Structure 1
Amino acid sequence: MDFDAFVRRRASAGALVVQPRMGFMDPEAMRAGLAATRAADATTVGTLTLDSYTRLRDEAALATALAEGRPLNGYPLTTHPPEVTARMLAGLRGPDFPVQVRHGSAVPRHIFESMIGLGLSASEGGPISYCLPYGRTPLAQSVRNWADSTRLFATLRERGAQPHLESFGGCLLGQLCPPSLLVAVSVLEALFFHQHGVRSVSVSYAQQTNATQDREAVAALRRLCAELLPEPSWHVVIYAYMGLYPVTPRGAYRMLASAAELAVRSGAERLIVKTVAESMRIPTVEENVAALEFAAAAADTVRGWTGGEVAEVDADNEVYREAAALVDAVRDLHPDLGTALAEAFTKGYLDIPYCLHPDNQGRTRSYIDEEGRLRWADSGDLPFGRGGDGGGLAGRARTVTSAALHADLHHVRYAYDADEGPADDILAAVALPALPALPPGP
């Protein structure tokens, strides 16, 4: 089963592939969630999102939670016996409904071992994107872990399956990370996967604060992949905004409609949806299905308006120039990309704003300008050169106060929860889902 080929085939037929971030601890509940995803009125792929204890490989805490019947925030793939998971998946996954495992682990070998045993051939993550935002695993250790796990995952080809990895680099902390750094890390992780034997990849980009800048970022991501990836087996996945999400139902659906519009206008093949319950709790199956169907309808509406044409973007835009400078500087550090990535963070060539991981220099800062674009307030030692005209480059540092940071963190939420907001034209054309009365959720 080839995850990338499925997505690109559906996209070439005019469909946006939509996907939930769904995971339940109970196999029956997980099966029901996958079945509902498959049956949704949309072109979908399934998701097994794993719980945080499995992600951190905290087996003692996981055993205690299961023994005490405490709920988990995902599916404990490595704890359930393989035959239990095989029964859970039976009759659901297949060539017309691939399933991806999503986990968030910087120590992922046990997860990949379980996946290989079950014949699950699609996952996501990366040595940077699954290390810096999620814990305190030393970056050099995460790089070694992911090199080992990627090589292990690549052995699936010997069993007739095509292993697929999606870089989570386009998300990182989810918000206030200028697009050039998101693009650069996603491309670098995809190159890392290739270097360690996985040839089928997807590159991610999380919707940020300005629609025009986001389209420029996806164009930059596509251009860099076309220039650097040695094989054409890749596609782009968009994430609905990963920061503070709107709290009103209308605001949440505006946000999702904008994400679907970004996917269509940028030519992305897949969209990770978020739900109306996103700001409150873990979504139910019904809320996930409603989000999938709404996103698919919104995408179809935008495609009808545009005729499916990708929006024109300057190929040499600011995001591309910055991202290319980052990628080139890292690749010049060492032939082994894992070694280069670790050294890049030591030198500050890669530095994530507001990230508290000990291996992140923490010298960069960002802000949202008057147009709603994310820019560098302080680029630290990022290899952009000095001087310049201030167009996102080093040389024009700006102080970010705590009040300004608070306002920037809430910028998107307030914009989409306003009485009038982005994507109201799409909401006027696509009926909002009518959800049944639902319990508070897990």
Structure 2
Amino acid sequence: MDSFEHETMSVSKQARDFLRSRQSRSVASTMEKARASGRILLQPRCGVGSHEQQLALLKKLSEDANPDVATITIDSYTRLGAFDKAHELARTNPATLNGYPLVAHGAERLREMVLAIEAPIQIRHGSPDPRRLFSTSLEGGADGFEGGPLSYTLPYSKDFPLERSLRAWDIVDEVCGELAEDGINIDREFFGSLSGTLVHPVISLSVTFIEAMKAFSKGANKVGIAISQSGCPYQDIAGLRAIELLATSLCPGKTVFPILHHFMGVFPRDPTKALALIAQGSVTARLGKATKVVVKTQVEALGIPSADANATAINFSRIFFSPIFDGFLPDNSKIDEEAQQIYCEVESLVSMTFEHGDSNGTIANLFAEGRLDVPFCPSRYCKGLCVPRRADDGAIRIVDPGLMSFSRPFLDREMRMAGLNADPMQISAMIRDIQYFSGEDDADSQ
């Protein structure tokens, strides 16, 4: 499964039976119930190299915070297909791994974790070619598998060809479609955080809706679309609202769950300021009617969070979903205008990728030409010429489109809303934008 000599993927009868038996408590079912009730789900990020420690971490989080969806975050070696190296370190020095080496530990150990906790498990990773990881996930009974060919290639891999990733993920989504016909829904969530650095919602949602529409074409009928908290509440609420507008227009008859990631940029080192940023994100998710929030912790800037830190963040975030925070809403007309602008521009960018029969070739060509682009990505298959900046009001604006196919009215509005003067030291200014929440000196003034 490491080459394209094997372009099909089979799922064993044992795995199918196990997945089918748990459909009422699967990630997809949990998301559907939350959407119907208006409840917001909470999900941590967590992954360590040792199987015993990962199992203990999941159990402790379950006891201390009762997350609605549990996570196994995969290590970098496994993400990029270095399975032998991951296996060696899992055996000799698992503490050096920055996540759980699922392929090395195997499906049987994953099944042990699935059975050990109440919440369904989603696999989060960053793989441009996820086929072997996906196969192990299914055989182990995990029914949530995050990521897509753009969001998990452009920000994570320098030399992995985009067309190859598109083909690999097609196989994943074909299996999901075939399982759906068999009554087994695999949760598919698309990662809009991308590089995590000044990601404009138009770029984020263009990428994730391209991925979602490809998944729908393979048989999926329910997906999650995620954006990350920018730190500007009205723009983030508008982004969440735009997901619903775009779903109705681009994916009629399909179910799309809006998801918010807590801030993915440089976090404050001060735990109190970190909690304030988490609080802002949680209130934003409530006002934007997110179905799920993927949480960060108050020690985000300091290292991999412990179970205690994750539990604190989940319990803290849950406070802001209380009715006592009803009514905290920025100017609704401002949000509606922003959402409409996002909607129109994303619809245009996404639609042009499906104008011809060969969507994979079209998508790869659009990125090669720079007509689609993601700033600050290492991939050589992405131009990276589009320049975002943070405006005076905290919103992220496009100040140089590069070669992207934005409309002129949108770009004119972006420049007007940015309110930025020409800066001969643009790199320094962009660094300040990136460190918007992290600097000790200027954080007090935010």
Task: Decide which of 92, 109, 124 is 2:131's aligned counterpart.
Answer: 109
Q: Give the Cα–Cα distance (whole angstroms) in 2 for the partners of residues 307 and 35 of structure 1.
A: 36
Of 105-114 and 174-183, more deviation after overlay is shown by: 174-183
- Does residue 128 of the first structure (1) align with residue 150 of the second (2)? yes
Structure 1 residue 215, shift from structure 2 partner: 1.3
For residue 140 of structure 1, what is the aligned residue in structure 2? 163
SS at match of 1:193: helix
Q: Does 1:183 align with 2:205?
A: yes
Question: TM-score, structure 2 length as denominator?
Answer: 0.86
Q: Does structure 1 residue 376 correspond to structure 2 residue 401? A: no
> Judging changes above 3 Å, is the alpha-carbon distance between structure 1 residues 356 and 43 closer, same or farther for their aligned structure 2 residues?
closer
Q: 2:60 matched to 1:65?
A: no
1:317 maps to amino acid: Q
For the structure 1 residues 196 and 416, does the alpha-carbon distance in structure 2 shift closer, same or farther, using more than 3 Å as the test? farther
Once residues 62 and 156 of structure 1 are traced to their aligned partners in structure 2, the CA distance between those partners, rounded to angstroms, is 29
2:99 equivalent among 74, 84, 87: 74
TM-superposed CA distance for 1:41, in Å, is 4.4
| Aligned-partner Cα distance in 2 for 1:311–1:9 | 30
1:87 pairs with one of 112, 129, 133:
112
Distance 1:229 1:388 in 2: 23
- Could you tell me which residue of structure 2 aligns to residue 351 of structure 1? 373
Per the TM alignment, residue 177 of structure 1 is displaced from its structure 2 partner at its CA by 2.0
Deviates most, 309-318 or 71-80: 309-318
Match of 1:99 in 2: 121
Q: What residue number does 1:154 align with?
A: 177
Q: Residue 327 of structure 1: which of 350, 373, 390 is its match?
A: 350
1:393-426 deviations in Å (ceiling 9; x for gaps): 79x99666221111111112248984476xxxxx
CA 1:346–1:20 in structure 2 vs 1: closer, same or farther (change >3 Å)?
same
**2:4 corresponding residue in structure 1:** none
Structure 2 residue corresponding to 1:403, chosen from 428, 432, 439:
428
Give the aligned partner of residue 4 of structure 1. 28
> More helix by proportion, 1 or 2?
2
Give the conservation status (yes or no) of the 8 Å contact 1:192–1:338: no
Corresponding letter in the other structure for 1:88: M
Contact 2:114 2:141 in 1 (8 A): no
Provide the rounded CA distance (Å) in 2 between the counterparts of 1:412 and 1:344.
33
Q: Which whole-Å CA distance do the structure 2 matches of 1:128 and 1:350 have between them? A: 11
Q: What are the superposed Cα offsets for residues 339-394 of structure 1, whole Å, 9 maximum, x if unpaired?
A: 33212212222111222311111221111121222111210222223477721279
Q: Which residue of 2 aligns with 1:306?
A: 326
Pick closer, same or farther for the CA change 1:361–1:81 going to 2, 3 Å: closer
Residue type of the alignment partner of 2:377: C
The amino acid that maps onto 2:78 is T
Q: 2:189 aligns to what SS in structure 1?
A: strand
What is the deviation of 1:307?
A: 6.4
Which string of whole-angstrom CA distances, capped at 9 and with x for unpartnered residues, describes residues 260-317 of structure 1? 01110000010000011111111111111111111111222xx433169998432663
Bigger mean CA deviation after superposition, 254-263 or 83-92: 83-92
Q: Is the 8 A contact 1:247 1:417 kept in 2?
A: no
Contact 2:235/2:395 (CA < 8 Å) preserved in 1?
Answer: yes
Residue 53 of structure 1 pairs with residue 77 of structure 2:
yes
1:360 aligns with 2:382: yes
Partners of 2:212 and 2:278 lie apart in 1 by: 26
User: Structure 1 residues 42, 11: CA separation in 2 closer, same or farther (over 3 Å shift)?
Assistant: farther
Q: Which digits, 9 at most, give the CA deviation of each residue in 1:48-67, with x for residues without a partner?
A: 11111111110232133234
Distance 1:76 1:24 in 2: 8
Aligned letter for 2:344? R
Aligned-partner residue type, residue 285 of structure 1: A
Superposed, which structure 2 residues align to 1:164-313 within 5 Å? 164-168=187-191, 170-300=192-322, 303-306=323-326, 312=332, 313=335
CA distance change for structure 1 residues 417 and 285 in 2, over 3 Å: closer, same or farther?
A: farther
> Which of 23, 35, 40 does residue 59 from structure 2 map onto?
35
Describe the SS at the equivalent of 1:390: helix
Output the CA distance in 1 between the equivalents of 2:47 and 2:190.
Answer: 19
Instruction: Please tell me whether the aligned partners of residues 110 and 137 of structure 2 are also in contact (alpha carbons under 8 angstroms).
Output: no
Secondary structure at the counterpart of residue 113 of structure 2: helix
Equivalent pair of 2:111/2:140 in contact (CA under 8 Å) = yes
How many residue pairs get matched?
413
Please give the alpha-carbon distance, in whole angstroms, between the structure 2 residues aligned to 1:67 and 1:212: 48
- Separation of aligned partners in 2, 1:45 and 1:354: 30
- The unaligned stretches of length 5 or more in structure 2 are 1-22
1:281 to 1:288, Cα distance in 2 relative to 1, 3 A? same
Residue in 2 aligned with 1:440? none
Q: Is the 8 A contact 1:47 1:100 kept in 2?
A: yes
Identity of aligned residues (%): 28
How far off is 1:145 after superposition? Answer: 1.0
Question: Residues 55 and 104 of structure 1 are in contact (CA less than 8 Å); yes or no, is this contact kept in structure 2?
Answer: yes
Measure how far apart 1:28 and its partner are. Answer: 2.2
Q: C-alpha distance in 1, partners of 2:441/2:41?
A: 24
User: 2:99 and 2:426 mapped to 1: Cα distance?
Assistant: 37
Q: Measure the CA separation in 2 of the matches of 1:199 and 1:89.
A: 24
> TM-score, with normalisation over the residues of structure 1?
0.86
Partners of 1:30 and 1:258 in 2: how far apart?
29
Structure 1 distance, partners of 2:30, 2:328, is: 19
Alignment partner of 1:19 out of 37, 43, 47: 43
